Chain A
Amino acid sequence: DADVTQTPRNRITKTGKRIMLECSQTKGHDRMYWYRQDPGLGLRLIYYSFDVKDINKGEISDGYSVSRQAQAKFSLSLESAIPNQTALYFCAAGGGNTDTQYFGPGTRLTVL
């Protein structure tokens, strides 16, 4: 496993608040990803990064921003949270020719 950790594990916040979700990995993988998961919609890619200087938008990047502070750290920010951003958020790390990805434990975010 990539030993991916996420903080916080649960977060309740209010509409309009800024919130940051953090992700760290210890296996030195070059690629990191942020997904959200909603019932019936599956996993959807928000942002991904192939290295510290490479950030790419995924399917649903509007309302989100990211920062790759180091190879091991990739954070996701919601600048002004809204209720439809309530979801389960996963960070993943991976790489290599096959791009195998390993997931963190997830953050359950509720926006009231």
Chain B
Amino acid sequence: QKEVEQNSGPLSVPEGAIASLNCTYSDRGSQSFFWYRQYSGKSPELIMSIYSNGDKEDGRFTAQLNKASQYVSLLIRDSQPSDSATYLCAVRGNNRLAFGKGNQVVVIP
């Protein structure tokens, strides 16, 4: 089992809709969870971090963490064309971050 899995293929959402991304992880002892946004050819940019069960909201972004089920999700409300990017889930374990392969989001005007 991979450390961090993001299994969904490219996600197309209409402008103004909600984009929902999911991520599962294997290390039950993980304590820190992150979502990064990466535009094509650019570096990953931290958009959300979450450390305890429940929801954390920051502007149009909401991260959700469920440690018992070992998943973390990201919701993007009122999606904008500028949200079109690849979103990377990262989980801290074994003194390093493990990254998922990312989910591409395409917001259709």
Contact = CB atoms under 8 A, between A and B. Distances in A.
Interface of A: 33, 40-43, 45, 48, 50, 56, 58, 88, 90, 98-106, 108
Given A90-B44, A100-B34, A101-B46, 5 more contacts: A43-B99, A50-B95, A98-B32, A99-B95, A99-B96
A99 B92 contact: yes
22 contacts: A40-B101, A41-B101, A43-B88, A43-B99, A45-B96, A45-B97, A50-B95, A88-B41, A90-B44, A98-B32, A98-B51, A98-B92, A99-B92, A99-B95, A99-B97, A101-B90, A101-B97, A102-B46, A103-B36, A103-B43, A103-B44, A105-B43
Nearest to B33: A98
Nearest to B93: A99
B93 to A, nearest CB: 10
A57 B26 CA distance: 22
Contacts of A56: 95
Contacts of B101: 40-42
A41 B102 CA distance: 10
B42 A106 contact: yes
Interface residues of B, number: 22
Contacts of A101: 34, 46, 90, 97
A92 to B, nearest CB: 8
Nearest to B49: A100
Interface string B68-109: 000000000000000000001010100111011110000000
A106 B95 CA distance: 23
B44 to A, nearest CB: 5
B55 interface: no
B23 to A, nearest CB: 12
Nearest to A50: B95
Interface string B1-44: 00000000000000000000000000000011010100001111
A58 B96 contact: yes
